[in-house]
Amino acid sequence: SFHLEPADGAGVAPHVPGQFISLRVPAWADEGVASQIRSYTISDAPNGRRYRISVKRDGVVSSWLHAHLAPGALIELMGPGGEFTFEAGTQRPVVMLSAGIGITPMIAMLNGLLVNGSRTRHKHPIWFIHGARSRDEHAFAAHLEALAAGHNNLQLHTRYSSEDGHIDIAMLKDLLPFDDYDFYLCG
């Protein structure tokens, strides 16, 4: 994860969990690559001081970030956007279904709902279902386990495709009690 703070010391533009920011990485002539812009989901709930993005080292821009972005470095970014956000005030149980790096908006939403140890802003059941290739590629696994240990309304389920196959409708039917849910999906 990268933690991005304004160079002028001011706060960041407000955002809602699930939104993204866009970064412009400079050209790097030694590799013949022009300046590029990529969008990354903000992977934590708003705190007014910084954005966190969680980036898998895969692709030209993501690899550049891992190779060149170090504490104190400057990078251009465009403020938050996007409409994939949690519907505040819902009275239904929630299913957050993600796979791979699609976990980032879900983590931001979950961190916004479950706060300060055992407090929750959503008193209804939350089913967090995530698919990853393996435990080694499961981003935020320890964080999710800690949240589940502290929040009785959070049900955590993970399926590793290398061991158990992919998440499918049969799994969801077996796992979820018959009810009316709000679904959030990101793969």
| pLDDT digits 0-9 by tens, 84-100 | 999 988 889 999 999 99
Residue 20 bridge partners (DSSP): 41, 81
Looking up tokens 């240990």 gives 149
Q: What does the pLDDT look like over 104-139, one tens digit per residue?
A: 999 999 999 987 666 777 789 999 999 999 999 999
Phi-psi region of 130 (alpha: psi -120 to 50; beta: other; left: phi over 0): beta
Mean pLDDT by groups of 10 residues along the chain of 187 residues: 94 95 83 85 95 91 88 92 91 95 96 78 91 94 94 94 94 93 94
Three-state SS for 159? strand
Query: Do the beta carbons of residue 111 and residue 17 sit within 8 Å?
Result: yes
Distance CA 41, CA 22 (A): 9
